[in-house]
Amino acid sequence: MKKKNLKVLLVVYDNESYIHQFPLGLGYIGAVLEREGYDVEIYNQDMYHYPEEHLTGYLDKNKFDFIGISVIAGYYQYRKLLKISEAINKSRQRPYYILGGHGPSPEPEFFLKKTGADAAIIGEGELTVVDLLDAVTNRKALRDVLGVAFLEAGKAVVTGKRKLIKDIDSIPFPAYHLFPVNYYRLLRMPHAANNDFVLPLLSGRGCTFTCTFCYRMDEGFRPRNNASIIEEIKFLKADYGITYIAFFDELLMSSAQRTVSLCEDFIKAGLNVKWDCNGRLNYARPDVLKLMKRAGCVFINYGIEAMDDAVLKNMKKGLTVEQIIKGIEATLKEGISPGFNIIFGNIGDNRETLNKGVEFLLKYDDGAQMRTIRPVTPYPGSPLYYHAIEKGLLKGVEDFYENKHLNSDLLAVNFTELSDDDFHAALFEANSRLLKNYFMKKTEFLLNQAKELYFNKNASFRGYRQT
The DSSP secondary structure of 429-445, one letter per residue, reads: HHHHHHHHHHHHHHHHH
Name the nearest CA neighbour of 206 among 173, 244, 165. 165
Q: Residues 424, 427, 433, 436: what is their CA dihedral angle, to the nearest 10 degrees?
A: -70
Domains with residue ranges and CATH for the chain: 7-158 (3.40.50.2300), 185-455 (3.80.30.20)
Name the nearest CA neighbour of 45 among 61, 58, 34, 36. 58
Q: Residues 199, 49, 379, 111: what is their CA dihedral angle, to the nearest 10 degrees?
A: -120
List the strands of the sheet with 119-121, edge to edge.
Answer: 39-44, 7-12, 66-70, 96-100, 119-121, 148-152, 155-158
Q: How far is CA 392 from CA 27, 45, 405, in A?
A: 40, 39, 16
pLDDT of amino acid 464: 83
Name the nearest CA neighbour of 119 among 107, 132, 106. 132
The identity of residue 272, as a single letter, is N
44 phi and psi, to 5 degrees?
-95, 75
Question: Would you call 166 helix, strand, or coil by DSSP?
Answer: coil
pLDDT of amino acid 257: 96
The identity of residue 334, as a single letter, is E
Q: Give the predicted TM-score (pTM) of the model.
A: 0.95
Does residue 276 contact residue 190 with C-beta atoms inside 8 Å? yes
Does residue 14 contact residue 52 with C-beta atoms inside 8 Å? no
Cα–Cα–Cα angle for 98, 101, 102, nearest 5°?
140
pLDDT of amino acid 218: 78
pLDDT of amino acid 1: 58
Strand positions, DSSP E, 345-425 = 374-375
pLDDT of amino acid 166: 93
| Cα 196 → chain centroid | 21
Q: How far apart are CA 183 and CA 186, in angstroms?
A: 6
pLDDT of amino acid 467: 59
pLDDT of amino acid 368: 83
Q: How far apart are CA 219 and CA 208, in angstroms?
A: 8
| Cα 141 → chain centroid | 33
Residues 6+ apart with CB under 8 A from 366: 332, 337, 338
* Tens of pLDDT, residue by residue, the chain (467 residues): 566 689 999 999 999 999 999 999 999 999 999 999 999 999 999 999 999 999 999 999 999 999 999 999 999 999 999 999 999 999 999 999 999 999 999 999 999 999 999 999 999 999 999 999 999 999 999 999 999 999 999 999 999 999 999 999 999 999 999 999 999 999 999 999 999 999 999 999 999 899 999 987 678 899 999 999 999 999 999 999 999 999 999 999 999 999 999 999 999 999 999 999 999 999 999 999 999 999 999 999 999 999 999 999 999 999 999 999 999 999 999 999 999 999 999 999 999 999 999 999 999 988 888 999 999 999 999 999 999 999 999 999 999 999 999 999 999 999 999 999 999 999 999 999 999 999 999 999 899 999 999 999 999 988 887 65
CB atoms within 10 A of CB 257: 10
Length of the chain (residues): 467
Q: How far apart are CA 383 and CA 213, in angstroms?
A: 6
List the strands of the sheet with 274-279, edge to edge.
Answer: 198-201, 244-247, 274-279, 297-305, 337-344, 374-375
Q: How far apart are CA 118 and CA 97, in angstroms?
A: 5
pLDDT of amino acid 462: 85
Residues 6+ apart with CB under 8 A from 83: 52
Cα–Cα–Cα angle for 310, 315, 321, nearest 5°?
45
pLDDT of amino acid 8: 98
Question: Would you call 347 helix, strand, or coil by DSSP?
Answer: coil
